[in-house]
């Protein structure tokens, strides 16, 4: 199940919007050796083939050769969906309790290795995404929510989705029971909701989507990736870690086939080349396969050979990381990266009142991050504010009791906002008003290189 893969399995990581997977978070159980532990840790779903599915279908050489069913077999497809939905409620009590402890386990035979894999993957994921605090992340097939919780603790706004309501309730309970929250955020920064990403989309966009060890559960991975692509903001990232297809006839394939029968769920990993083709077919303009080392480096066969000669084979299974961008990176920002926080202002109306000045401004998000709206004091929410400068350019005051955005604004979107400026603040000699955006508790946009809207103010009459 998603996020439960054994360290003996290969993995791929790709950047893109998150997708709900059926059965996530299966714990380890030492029942007679590593094989039984792996089976308890993973959960399985059988594969399918369909003429239109290449490269997404098993039986084509791109996914594991499992139980052959066409997507048109609605009854069989529905049974796999239901198996995923029912997975958690069919777990024994000991296994269900482990869902609350993940990524850590109570067993002494093997789980430490699994926990280390999870923690290394988490560190690599956060480093790879390089998102600012308050960025929005979709965790697809979030299962018991361990990854969503960790990303929330890192300072991101997280939405976890899954097809199984029982797993979502475990995830919600994990967050409800957190004893200590960071002082700059509350539980509204994280939420969980049911979603079948193969047939549904959320009506919002995210800075990043994470698919952690779940894509092999999807009957129609191509459609799922297309849906996720539509839910990413421009320049948004999709990050995937995914088990690689075991060799035909291998012990790994036999295990997956057996577990698929046992759990009535689908386990159909991909070849890396097929996964890359799926990502490009879904519309991603940039797709990169990455390898874990001390840090992530571009994959190159020459580098692989030199690393193996220098250090021997890597610990654990060979793994693949992928990074995909919805749009090609622009050279506009520092170091060749696109500017994340960039606004364009247009003055629509300026009205003098008895109390001061009401300014109506159209503001457009020309950066690469979603602006989160909110009229509260939560750090990271974005709103209109202003700073007052003298005619000589000296800053006199700032007014960050800002006007909130009417809604979240993804890159390329715009909205009108009204800002009220108190005239009593203007010095007798007049001054200049710099209308700007502020990310609450973090920074002014102009301090990040985004130009403010400047208005000359006469002195009080």
Query: What domains can you pick out in the chain, each with its CATH number?
Result: 34-325 (3.40.50.150), 338-457 (2.60.40)
* Residues 117-121, mean pLDDT to the nearest whole number: 87
Asked if residue 290 has pLDDT above 80, the reply is: yes
What distance in Å separates the CA atoms of residue 203 and residue 191, rounded to the nearest whole number?
15
The Cα 321–Cα 299 span in angstroms is: 9
CA distance 17 to 284: 11
The pLDDT value recorded for residue 9 is: 28
Evaluate whether 209 touches 16 at the Cβ level (below 8 Å). yes
Instruction: Report whether pLDDT(251) > 60.
Output: yes
Whether the pLDDT of residue 329 is over 70: the answer is no
What is the pLDDT of the chain when averaged over all its residues? 75
| Residue 179, pLDDT above cutoff 50 | yes
**Between 301 and 238, residue with greater pLDDT:** 238
Q: Using DSSP, how many helices (H) and how many strands (E) does the chain show?
A: 10, 16
pLDDT at 169: 96
- The confidence score (pLDDT) of residue 264 equals 75
Angle among Cα 120, 329, 160 to the nearest 5 degrees reads 45
d(C-alpha 438, C-alpha 440), whole Å: 6
Q: Residue 284 in contact with residue 324, Cβ under 8 Å?
A: yes
Residues linked to residue 396 through DSSP beta bridges, in sequence order: none
Q: How many whole angstroms separate alpha carbon 344 and alpha carbon 290?
A: 35
Lowest mean pLDDT of 194-203, 327-336, 382-391, name the range. Answer: 327-336
Pairing of strands 321-325, 343-352: unpaired
Residue 311 has pLDDT above 50, yes or no: yes
Compute the distance between CA of residue 319 and CA of residue 326 in angstroms, rounded to an integer: 23
Q: Per residue in 275-285, pLDDT tens?
A: 999 999 999 99
The edge-to-edge listing of strands for the beta sheet with 206-212 is 190-194, 157-162, 136-140, 206-212, 232-241, 321-325, 286-291, 297-298
CA atoms 17, 22, 25, 29: torsion sign: negative
Task: Please say if the pLDDT value at position 406 is more than 70.
Answer: yes
Select the more confidently predicted residue: 436 or 18: 436
Left (φ > 0), alpha (ψ -120 to 50) or beta: where does 249 sit? left
Q: How far apart are CA 53 and CA 60, in angstroms?
A: 9
Looking at residue 299, its pLDDT comes to 64
User: With bands split at pLDDT 50, 70 and 90, how would you rate the model's confidence at 199?
Assistant: very high
The per-residue pLDDT for 25 is: 33
β-bridge mates for residue 206, sequence order? 232
For the record, the structure tokens of 24 come out as 């996530």
Burial of residue 208, with CB atoms counted within 10 A of its CB: 0-12 exposed, 13-18 middle, 19 or more buried: buried
Tens of pLDDT, residue by residue over 63-107, are 654 444 555 566 666 677 787 888 788 788 888 888 888 998 776
Cα distance between residue 236 and residue 346, in whole Å = 26
- Where is 161: in which H helix or E strand? strand 157-162
pLDDT at residue 310 greater than cutoff 80? no
Query: pLDDT value at position 5?
Result: 37
Q: Is the pLDDT of residue 53 over 90?
A: no
pLDDT at 6: 33
Say what the pLDDT of residue 71 is: 54
Q: What are phi and psi of 70, to 5 degrees?
A: -85, 155
12 near 275, Cβ under 8 Å?
yes
Taking residue 337's Cβ as centre, other Cβ atoms within 10 Å add up to 14
Burial class (CB in 10 A: 0-12, 13-18, 19+), 315: exposed
Whether 398 has a pLDDT exceeding 90, the answer reads: no
Q: Decide the pairing of beta strands 157-162 and 190-194.
A: parallel
Quote the pTM value.
0.59
147-156, 355-364, 400-409 — most confident range = 147-156
Joined together, the tokens standing for residue 46 give: 């059988």
């Amino acid at each position: 199940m998603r996020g439960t893969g054994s360290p003996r399995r290969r993995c791929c990581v790709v950047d893109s919007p998150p997708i709900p997977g059926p059965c996530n978070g299966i714990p380890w159980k030492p029942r007679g050796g590593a094989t039984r532990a792996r089976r308890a840790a993973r959960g399985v779903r059988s594969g399918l083939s369909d003429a239109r599915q290449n490269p997404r279908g098993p039986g084509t050489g791109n996914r594991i050769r499992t139980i052959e069913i066409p997507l048109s077999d609605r009854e069989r497809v529905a049974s796999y969906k239901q198996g995923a939905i029912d997975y958690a409620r069919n777990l024994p009590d000991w296994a269900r309790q482990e869902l609350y402890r993940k990524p850590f386990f109570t067993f002494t035979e093997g789980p430490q290795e699994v926990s280390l894999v999870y923690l290394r993957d988490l560190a690599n994921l956060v480093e790879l995404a390089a998102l600012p605090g308050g960025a929005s992340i979709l965790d697809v097939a979030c299962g018991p929510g361990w990854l969503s919780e960790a990303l929330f603790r890192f300072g991101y706004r997280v939405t976890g989705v899954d097809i199984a309501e029982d797993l979502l309730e475990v995830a919600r309970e994990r967050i409800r029971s957190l004893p200590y929250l960071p002082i700059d955020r509350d539980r509204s920064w994280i939420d969980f909701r049911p979603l079948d990403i193969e047939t549904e989309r959320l009506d919002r966009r995210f800075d990043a989507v994470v698919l952690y060890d779940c894509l092999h559960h999807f009957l129609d991975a191509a459609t799922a990736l297309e849906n996720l692509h539509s839910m990413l903001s421009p320049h948004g990232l999709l990050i995937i870690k995914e088990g690689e297809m075991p060799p035909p006839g291998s012990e790994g394939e036999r295990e997956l086939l057996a577990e698929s029968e046992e759990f009535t769920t689908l386990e159909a990993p991909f070849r890396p080349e097929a996964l890359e083709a799926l990502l490009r077919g879904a519309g991603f303009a940039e797709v990169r396969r990455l390898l874990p080392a001390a840090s992530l480096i571009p994959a190159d066969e020459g580098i692989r050979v030199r690393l193996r000669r220098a250090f021997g084979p890597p610990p654990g299974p060979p793994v693949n990381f992928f990074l995909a961008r919805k749009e090609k990176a622009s050279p506009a920002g520092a170091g060749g990266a696109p500017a994340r926080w960039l606004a364009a202002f247009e003055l629509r109306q300026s009205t003098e009142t008895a109390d001061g000045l009401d300014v109506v401004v159209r503001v457009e998000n020309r950066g690469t991050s979603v602006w989160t709206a909110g009229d509260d004091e939560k750090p990271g929410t974005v709103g209109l504010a202003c700073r007052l400068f003298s005619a000589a350019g000296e800053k006199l005051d700032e007014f960050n009791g800002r006007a909130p955005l009417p809604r979240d604004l993804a890159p390329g979107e715009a909205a009108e906002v009204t800002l009220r400026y108190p005239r009593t603040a203007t010095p007798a000699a007049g001054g200049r008003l710099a209308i700007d955006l502020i990310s609450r508790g973090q920074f002014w946009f102009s301090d990040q290189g985004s130009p403010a809207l400047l208005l000359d103010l006469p002195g009080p009459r």
